[in-house]
Amino acid sequence: DIQMTQSPSSMSASLGDRVTITCQASQDIGNNLIWFQQKPGKSPRPMIYYATNLANGVPSRFSGSRSGSDYSLTISSLESEDMADYHCLQYKQYPYTFGAGTKLELK
């Protein structure tokens, strides 16, 4: 199975900060990766698909990038509504696998 190593597991940041979360894939997944945002009591919301594409309705301060086997989600200027859990998912190969998640909190 493809392992997705997500870091950090948690982080605190201030409003306006630039924030980056990373998932490292244990095998080649091409760009077959989705980033999700999840708030308490809600279903995961897709933010970025195919590693770099912004999903419908997602603010432009969110972006996705890839460097080799490392995939990153970046928030250019943190807003209060961005406090949430973030998950990555690889859909290159079955079984699809998720990262362990990142909890983003306000400093």
Give me the DSSP letters along 12-78: EE-TT--EEEEEEESS--TT-EEEEEE-TTS--EEEEETTTEEPTT--TTEEEEEETTEEEEEESS-
Which of 14, 43, 60, 80 forms a contact with another protein (CB under 8 A)?
A: 43
100 binds another protein, rule: CB under 8 A: yes
95 binds another protein, rule: CB under 8 A: yes
46 binds another protein, rule: CB under 8 A: yes
91 binds another protein, rule: CB under 8 A: yes
At 95 the three-state DSSP class reads: coil
DSSP state at residue 92 = S
Stretch that binds another protein, among 19-27, 58-66, 68-76, 87-95 (CB under 8 A): 87-95
Tokens 């859990």 identify what position?
A: 85
Which of 25, 84, 87, 104 forms a contact with another protein (CB under 8 A)?
A: 87
Tokens 């409003």 identify what position?
A: 15
Q: Interface residues with another protein (CB under 8 A)? A: 34, 38, 43-46, 49, 55, 85, 87, 89, 91, 94-98, 100-101
